[in-house]
Amino acid sequence: MNILQINSSARAEASHSTALAERIVSRLSAAEPRTASVVVRDLSRRPHPQLDEAALQALFTPTESRTPEQAARVALDDALIAELQAADALVIGAPMYNFGISAQLKNWIDAISRAKVTFRYTEDGPEGLLKGKTVYVALTRGGKYRNTPADTMVPYLEMVLSFLGMTHVHFVYAEGLAMGAAAEESAIASAYEQIEDAVSAQVSVEEPLAA
């Protein structure tokens, strides 16, 4: 099983979402110790560039006509797409910033969403081309927004991941992290329980296939 971990906090150290993503990866790896391989894409230590005009021009220029700078810019996105295509499981650490996902995560989504490569339009409408993957998203928030209109992250991530073909998504919530030490401790304990549930649900789904 190839596992791709995306860290999207701005914090390289002391990030709860990264710690929870690591916990998910470690539990997935423990379930398949002989076959698990892990790639970590740390967008805090190595931020991906945003989709600016130069990047758009590079992407819309035919490969053979690109300048070396344009080719290098497209290659940055190509690398992220290749990592994702190779993954069986995708694990995302996703902090809430100002009621949405981080700019780091949005830049990653902009990089991996490419027409004719990760999705395409057919006569019947759009088709996601990243199929057969299981996704785990560790959500961290200072406040509590689960199942409220203020939670823009879950509907957005469900929609964009499904558009790209990734319809099997487990969300792990760590909420109330800014509401005092006791609330923080309880949020992390709850997130650990949610991780156990998500990983064991996945393993029990896959067992009959492996037999």
Ligand X SMILES: Cc1cc2nc3c(=O)[nH]c(=O)nc-3n(C[C@H](O)[C@H](O)[C@H](O)COP(=O)(O)O)c2cc1C
Whichever of 23 and 114 has its CB closer to ligand X, that residue is 23
Dihedral, CA atoms, 110, 45, 177, 148, nearest 10 degrees?
0
Q: Using CB under 6 A, list all residues that contact ligand X.
A: 9, 11, 15-18, 95-99, 140-143, 177-178
Give the nearest distance from C-beta 114 to ligand X in angstroms. Answer: 27
Query: The tokens of 91 are what?
Result: 């694990």
Find out whether 118 and 125 touch, Cβ atoms under 8 Å.
no
Residue nearest to ligand X (CB): 95
Whichever of 5 and 95 has its CB closer to ligand X, that residue is 95
- CA terminus-to-terminus distance, the chain: 16
Query: The tokens of 18 are what?
Result: 């990264």
- Token match 């805090």: residue? 44
Whichever of 120 and 146 has its CB closer to ligand X, that residue is 146
Find out whether 137 and 168 touch, Cβ atoms under 8 Å.
no
Give the nearest distance from C-beta 84 to ligand X in angstroms. Answer: 21
Whichever of 94 and 112 has its CB closer to ligand X, that residue is 94
Give the nearest distance from C-beta 163 to ligand X in angstroms. Answer: 24
Give the nearest distance from C-beta 203 to ligand X in angstroms. Answer: 26
Query: The tokens of 202 are what?
Result: 């996945």
Give the nearest distance from C-beta 157 to ligand X in angstroms. Answer: 15
Helices (DSSP H) in the chain: which residue ranges? Answer: 16-31, 53-60, 68-86, 103-112, 153-163, 181-210
Whichever of 63 and 148 has its CB closer to ligand X, that residue is 148
- Classified as helix, coil or strand, 118 is coil
Query: The tokens of 119 are what?
Result: 């999705």
